[in-house]
Chain A
């Protein structure tokens, strides 16, 4: 039992805590923990050596010690430079990037106002509790502040002798219980919304993510599940507008998590959950942070991390048709230039997954323009024809579903026709014997359609 029996916190430990209390207690714990210094946010590069995650440097979690506001400024400036290089960025992305900056300053004011409020709410405590005042001094949770205040408040609050981590972990698991129930009782939706409101109000998520790599394994999982639940239900507008409009930095933190194997899977699940909301997906797609997915993450040697990031990329490019199509059209050159490295990857899984996704993207109605552009390029055709004869039968099969689009195109450019005619006989022979063991009516039909189309291709057509 705590020594300071009259303290606000100790009185709380005796009864079931309200969501507000849970969040405040967790925030108090977080302020006792230093934020992770991020100078070394690196990850193993494609070639297995240590390489800095591109586009993460200075962009996101820059040099040690800058204030949140500085970080945000950096962020804004680099985003501006990016958007000036891609002048056609949609308005939505630009306005919301401005919103994010506003949000950052609001984050600390959230916190301060939460303070003021707390005074009003803390009817069950006589005096202002130490953890909160120490939290107030550390405000943005900068490392130095937090660690000193941490020392101070551990001594003062010291609940039941548990370490800060243990207390934090306990709060998180209690929050999880509120959101998910225990499998027996119904979940109280009002309480969930209440919890989400407080999580937003107190800025719990950014604080957690700043210390994410330092959290214990299970606490990270709980944190992710809390995030995922309130994002899924968008309780209190957690995903949209809170994250989408005001706290893009949360998404940046999550994305940079792919650089850290120990948190990558937690971060990945949160990213995907947030990106179920169209506005969030748009924010990510139209930010420079989408490129490390193509350049680095999906190429990581760890299968679990690489495949997770691929799953996220895939959600981004296929879940919200309109946004994805807009992105693919606007960033066509960069996307498909980078896509080449996926299709040419030495990694079997990367090759196969990216080829499959390419087929899905091209065959989606909403991506008609992208498809027409893609299948007009003879470079692309060459790439796909080489994949069509990959030693892997599965990759051949996926390549077929892209190749067929080139052939079926009624308006094939001469360069495409030329290649097809040049290789016509070989292609016909190859396709005739192609995957004859597949017991799939549609596949057989498509195959014979391709064979017919190819057989009837006129070379003259190519010449004109």
Chain B
């Protein structure tokens, strides 16, 4: 594993500095690791208590990163649990994602999208990362500008394997997989249709969409509601530069024939007709590509991540993630029916869900359960002794009161018990006090 076991695995070693990204159940921070010559790292802090994916999925995501070693794949140095968070310590790519870079550039008046020489280089590098993935028997499933990271020297790395699946899980190359995940705008039609399952070629479609996204600044259907995107992708002809109001590059130049050819090859509705990564890389379009102009004319100008407010970037309707489980087809049909009745509703609903998740998380970053402040839940001061019946009934009533009343009543609870001290039946109060002192630690001693 790259730079494996030496990394420390405790929070103290990674003082968080700046928030550089925010998702529904994860926040990304910048930090430096003193134990590793103060190298800059990006730390993805996942809220395990509220996250909607299973531990098994998370485990596989982490494994995927740990088992990848390629110049175009984001590295994960180590991972550990802190309270109910999972910390993934990853390579720092200080210019952030291509999406972030494009947003910055647009704000600076550099227009929407990237110049062709820049994006051709980025696409080539990404394709090499994707090929590594595919050679491993993995599908990325969420290829998009937002998951292609850049640093100041023009290195390009694919990130976010949150939804990537293993085609060679263990022992077998599965031909297809049926989980319905990804981001609508970048999803291949066969992923949405859920009929025959899908394979590596789904990533090639997403790669084609990403090419358009880099060229024009946003994915072809990004302005439509997710359900509309699904329907358009399935029913309409494959998107191309023609899907945009104009087909010129940001510098006013027309895109090369090579670029159009790449997009056309990738965006074929029949997955079998799409080329493999290897075939694409052999295309003359991906011949010699330099990063010099990208570095000097774009990356040098945009700020590093964390310099600006991450919350400010508005999200286009079709660009949110879609996590749908195996009954996804049902959901999709239901949603599509909703679209037919009125697109607005579907859109609002989706946006609300995305927002709700985000706001909840933002409002209470430390949310850990019903009683975050306390070690345990109110009204659960269990009694495990064999004390007398009388005091126990009183205790039980107090307990009931405490459960219904405020936190303060727990104190009363204890006081009352203390008043009762002296009888042979005060074990109960002892244990309650003991529990409070020990913050509800074990009761082993009380079992004599």
Contact = CB atoms under 8 A, between A and B. Distances in A.
- Do A and B actually bind? yes
Interface of A: 44, 48, 180-181, 183, 217-218, 221, 225, 228-229, 231-233, 260-262, 265-266, 269, 272-273, 301-304, 307-308, 311, 344, 347-350, 352-353, 378-379, 382, 385-386, 388-394, 396, 418-419, 422-427, 429-430, 433, 459
Interface string B62-77: 1100110100000000
A426 B379 contact: yes
Interface in B372-410: 372, 374-377, 379-387, 389, 392, 396-397, 399-400, 403-404
Contacts of A433: 403
B376 A269 contact: no
Interface of B is mostly: loop
Interface string B5-16: 100011000000
Contact of B80 (A232, A303, A344): A303
Interface in B2-51: 2, 4-5, 9-10, 48-49
Identify the interface centre among A183, A265, A391: most chain B CB within 10 Å of its CB: A391
Contacts of B172: 229, 232
Nearest to B384: A382
A273 B79 contact: no
B69 A217 contact: yes
Contacts of B375: 391
Given A393-B49, A422-B392, A425-B399, A303 B380 contact: no
Contact of B372 (A183, A229, A382, A391): A391
A261 B171 CA distance: 22
Interface of B: 1-2, 4-5, 9-10, 48-49, 55-56, 58-59, 62-63, 66-67, 69, 78-81, 83-84, 86, 134, 136-137, 168, 170-173, 199-200, 368-372, 374-377, 379-387, 389, 392, 396-397, 399-400, 403-404, 440, 442-444, 447
B66 A265 contact: yes
A426 B84 contact: no
The 4 A-B pairs at the shortest CB distance, nearest first, are namely: A232-B171, A389-B380, A261-B5, A426-B399
Nearest to A394: B49
Contact of B368 (A311, A388, A391): A391
A229 B383 CA distance: 54
Contacts of B80: 301-303
B389 A459 contact: yes
Contacts of A394: 48-49, 369
27 contacts: A48-B10, A180-B168, A181-B173, A217-B2, A218-B69, A221-B136, A229-B171, A262-B5, A302-B78, A303-B62, A307-B58, A307-B59, A348-B49, A349-B48, A352-B48, A353-B55, A382-B447, A385-B384, A386-B376, A389-B440, A392-B369, A393-B369, A393-B370, A422-B385, A423-B382, A426-B380, A429-B399
Given A261-B1, A391-B371, A426-B399, A386 B382 contact: yes
A183 B201 CA distance: 11
Nearest to A423: B382
B442 A344 contact: yes
Contact of A232 (B170, B369, B370, B376): B170
Contacts of B442: 344, 382, 386
Given A348-B48, A349-B81, A391-B377, A265 B1 contact: yes
B46 to A, nearest CB: 10
Contacts of A424: 396
Given A302-B5, A391-B371, A433-B403, 13 more contacts: A228-B170, A303-B86, A307-B58, A347-B81, A348-B49, A349-B48, A350-B81, A352-B48, A379-B444, A393-B368, A396-B369, A422-B384, A429-B400
A217 B3 CA distance: 11
A425 B10 contact: no
B403 A429 contact: yes
Contact of A225 (B168, B379, B384): B168
Contacts of B66: 265, 304
Contact of B1 (A183, A217, A308, A393): A217
A272 B170 CA distance: 9
B357 to A, nearest CB: 15
Contact of B440 (A217, A308, A386): A386
A260 B383 contact: no
A273 B170 contact: yes
A394 B447 CA distance: 28
A390 B377 CA distance: 7
Contacts of A392: 49, 84, 368-369
A301 B379 CA distance: 33
Nearest to A261: B5
Contacts of B376: 386, 389-391
Contacts of B387: 422
A422 B397 contact: no
A269 to B, nearest CB: 5
A53 B199 CA distance: 41
Contacts of B389: 459
Nearest to B132: A218
